[in-house]
Amino acid sequence: FLTRLGEGSRMVITGDRTQVDLPRGQASGLTEAERLLSGIDSIAFNYFTAKDVVRHPLVAKIIEAYEKDG
């Protein structure tokens, strides 16, 4: 789908690198796209943190715990 961008269009790709459910050793398409495309002008990546959580306040604390663990 990355090659289907039309003239004057915009594309948004969403995903969460912390929620990859692939077998160990299998590459994530999201992570691979980020690696390959990060140096291209006009392509930007936005990252959210626990401060961006709009769900239950406990979810932010859970995310913070995982972020601290690395």
Please enumerate in sequence order all residues whose Cβ is within 8 A of that of 34, keeping only pairs 6 or more positions apart, or say none.
17, 45
Q: Is the pTM of this model over 0.75?
A: no
Residue 9 has pLDDT above 90, yes or no: yes
Output the pLDDT for position 6: 92
Question: What pLDDT, in 10s, does the model give residues 11-66?
Answer: 999 898 878 889 988 989 999 999 999 999 999 999 888 888 888 889 889 888 98
Return the structure tokens found at 29: 């398409």
Return the structure tokens found at 27: 């590459």
Residue at token pair 């789908």:
1
Output the pLDDT for position 44: 94
Residue 70 has pLDDT above 80, yes or no: no
DSSP 3-state of 28: coil
Output the pLDDT for position 20: 84
Round the CA-based radius of gyration of the chain to a whole number and report it. 15
The structural domains of the chain, with segments of one domain joined by +, span 2-69
